Amino acid sequence: MSSFDIQSKQYCHTCKIHTNHHIVTKNGEPVQYVEEILEDDDYVYGEVTYAVVQCKGCDTIGFLRIYNDMDNWQYAHRVKEETGKDIDPNDYYKYPEEPKKESAPIPYNHYESKIKFKHLPEYIKELRSEAIKAYKEDLLYLCATGIRMLVEAICKEKGIPEYKKNEDGSLQTYKDGNPIPNSIKWKIDELHKRGFIQESARDILHQVREMGNASAHDIEKHDLRTIRSALETVELILYTIYELPNQKIYERKTKQNPEDMKGSN
Ligand SMILES: [Zn+2]
């Protein structure tokens, strides 16, 4: 190790790994510029070296900024005393830089429906696949919005009134004569009251409704679980409403054993 060797391995953009480097010399002198760091009273506190360096593996030239100060030096000294280990007191900054590790890809949110839908109204079918697509791409806000729209679409299709009504059946209106819409909160409760969904499903839909009221920014990763429950809930609702009435139960005709019939209703 010559005096111009760099103490720690540096990234070489040709070798693509950390390799030994040394400072390039010209006429026996290192090609570098050293700048002292002075305290207020001109006391030398540390130094920064700007050096032209070369990979000892492939000879590629690079540029290295080497920083050292009293704190670094004292720390290295203390480590040496306590453990006997030599540590490099320098901080390095190498050009060209080591490429940043690509951030971990967004986890693929696997979602595979257990239900084969054949009888969904076209509009609901499209909304459903959009919501699932958003979920898979980690677009939680879009997914929550999609689920809300699905719920709205189900309500509309099931005849849950869009607008508030008076007791005589006439529409409640604002002062300007426009009808007052029912809130999605009311509609979700109504889906439950009319027996389309169970209490647990209603509560999940309310959570998603509240999520849709928050900004996209406020939707956290932990909401993924809620969104997933909501998706599954909506799938079940869709199944109950649109597929179940179309199921033909052939099995009953073939099974003659009365034991099999018990409790199977
Ligand atoms: Zn190299």
Distance 91 CA to ligand 1 centre (A): 20
Distance 151 CA to ligand 1 centre (A): 60
pLDDT bucket at 215, cuts 50 / 70 / 90: low
Distance 25 CA to ligand 1 centre (A): 18
This prediction's pTM: 0.50
In terms of pLDDT, which residue wins out, 206 or 112?
206
Distance 54 CA to ligand 1 centre (A): 8
Interval 54-76: pLDDT, tens: 999 999 999 999 999 888 888 88
Interval 161-201: pLDDT, tens: 989 988 898 889 999 989 898 988 999 999 899 988 888 88
Contact 214, 194 (CB under 8 A): no
pLDDT at position 33 over 90: yes
Please give the average per-residue pLDDT across 204-230, as a whole number: 73
Residues, Cβ < 5 Å to ion ligand 1: 12, 14-15, 19, 55, 57-58, 60
Contact 35, 48 (CB under 8 A): yes
Q: Which of 94-103, 104-113, 189-198, 206-215 has the lowest mean pLDDT?
A: 104-113
Distance 7 CA to ligand 1 centre (A): 16
Distance 58 CA to ligand 1 centre (A): 4
- The pLDDT value given to residue 249: 56
- The pLDDT value given to residue 58: 97
Long-range contacts of 139-144 (CB under 8 A, 24+ apart): 140/211, 140/219, 140/221, 140/223, 140/224, 140/227, 141/212, 141/215, 141/216, 141/219, 143/227, 143/231, 144/208, 144/211, 144/212, 144/219, 144/223, 144/227, 144/230
Sketch the domain layout of the chain as residue ranges. 10-95, 122-260
Element (H, E) at 187: helix 184-193
Q: What six digits make up the tokens of 240? A: 């109950």
Q: In this structure, what is the dihedral angle of CA atoms 166, 168, 169, 170, given to the nearest 10 degrees?
A: -70
Contacts of 185 (CB under 8 A, 6+ apart): 206, 209
